Amino acid sequence: MKDAFLRNKWAVAALWALGALYACALFADFLAPYSFKDEARGLSYCPPTAIHIIHEGRLRSPFVYGMKLTFNEYRQRIYVTDRAKVYPVKFFSSRLFLVDAPGRLYLLGADSRGRDVFSRIIYGARVSLTIGLIGVLISFALGLLVGGIAGYYGGRIDNVLMRLCEVLMMAPGFYLLLALRAAVPDNFNSVQVYFAIVIILSVIGWAGLARVVRGMCLSLRERDYVLAAKTFGLSDVQIIIRHILPHTVAYSIAAVMLSIPGYILGESALSLIGLGIQDPYASWGNMLSDAMSIVRIKFAPWILWPAFFIFISVVCFNVIGDALRDALDPMLKREANV
């Protein structure tokens, strides 16, 4: 199983990429040159700063030039490099790299308030990448529990629980999301909002899983090898551990991986329209709310960088999920090879 997964080069690459993103989120305080709320109003939408190594024809350690805001003949804001001011890049001081004030190092440009987009992406990863994990945990616990009960007992309980799932699945997800968000008090602080969003997303997400788990339990408990194990005197718990769970694991793990992107996108969507994580706290979604105007995208395209990271992480989770599903399904794989 492990080998089958590791043979999939894309999946391994995706695993590394995700690992790197999560590491960034974990070590944000060190990797990000600025805090997520570190503003420089005079440098609104400052473009990415170039890092130079040659100053007046002479090689020296990496540095950046100062930036100055001016206006061109059309009264548009433009930034010019001020070659008189040189700010050397300092590595491994309190942060991985930074320059002394008043110099600013914008690796991926600045947003409307002159905050560093790169730093905010790293801090935003904390929200955007964990919301999926926590959300999936909650909805999985719910889905496995409800699906397991429905599948195991069948009959009326099954009927009631499955109709409930169908009602949830019938409602258009995004509007349900909005309705639930509207039901949450608006005086929550950022941590409370974060958990409110997680819970809202998981309440929407568990129904699909419950249905599948229920179907699997229904069919698995009638398998001949389960019956055989019963006649050998194995207890229910032993049978579940040996013969039922291993067969749902393939689906469950793949489904976990494949459903995480839904949470990332759900949080982004909520934050994008201003109902999720609030400024000044960063999430990839609320950073993109800055990019809702075509004019801003035209003059400061770098504010779209969070979308790139959303894209990368969603693709990675999907690739890993697919690879896991293939690797964990020995029958599918091996018999297909015969």
Partner 1 sequence: MLLELKNIQKTFADRAGGQVRAVDGVSLSVTAGESCALVGESGCGKTTLARIVMGLVRPDAGEMLFEGQPVWGDRQRERYFRRMARMVFQDPFASLDPRYTVRSILEEALHLEPKCSAEACSSKMKSVLTAVGLSGEILSRYPHEFSGGERQRIAIGRALMTGPKLLVLDEAVSSLDVIIQKEVLDCLVALQKDRGLTYIFITHNIKAAHRIAHKIAVMRSGKIVEWGTIGA
Residue numbers at the binding site for partner 1 (CB under 8 A): 223-225, 227-234, 242-243, 246-247, 330-331, 334-335
Question: Cβ closer to partner 1: 77 or 223?
Answer: 223
Question: Cβ closer to partner 1: 77 or 242?
Answer: 242
At position 77, the amino acid (one-letter code) is R
Find the shortest distance in angstroms from Cβ 231 to partner 1.
5
Find the shortest distance in angstroms from Cβ 148 to partner 1.
19
Find the shortest distance in angstroms from Cβ 326 to partner 1.
16
- Angstrom CA distances, 106 to 98, 111, 118, 121, 245, stand at 10, 10, 7, 12, 50
Question: Cβ closer to partner 1: 167 or 245?
Answer: 245
∠ Cα 297 101 299 (to 5°): 10
Question: Given phi > 0 = left and psi -120 to 50 = alpha, else beta, which region is 69?
Answer: beta
HEC profile of 69-103 = EEECCCCCEEEEEEEEEEEEEEECCCCCEEECCCC
Find the shortest distance in angstroms from Cβ 223 to partner 1.
6
Q: How far apart are the first and last CA of the chain?
A: 17
Question: Cβ closer to partner 1: 144 or 226?
Answer: 226
Across-strand partners of 63?
Answer: 52, 88
Find the shortest distance in angstroms from Cβ 2 to partner 1.
15
Question: Cβ closer to partner 1: 7 or 242?
Answer: 242
CB atoms inside a 10 Å sphere around CB 331: 9
Find the shortest distance in angstroms from Cβ 262 to partner 1.
29
Q: Do 21 and 124 contact (CB within 8 A), yes or no?
A: no
Element (H, E) at 38: none
Q: How far apart are CA 325 and CA 166, in angstroms?
A: 25
Question: Cβ closer to partner 1: 13 or 228?
Answer: 228
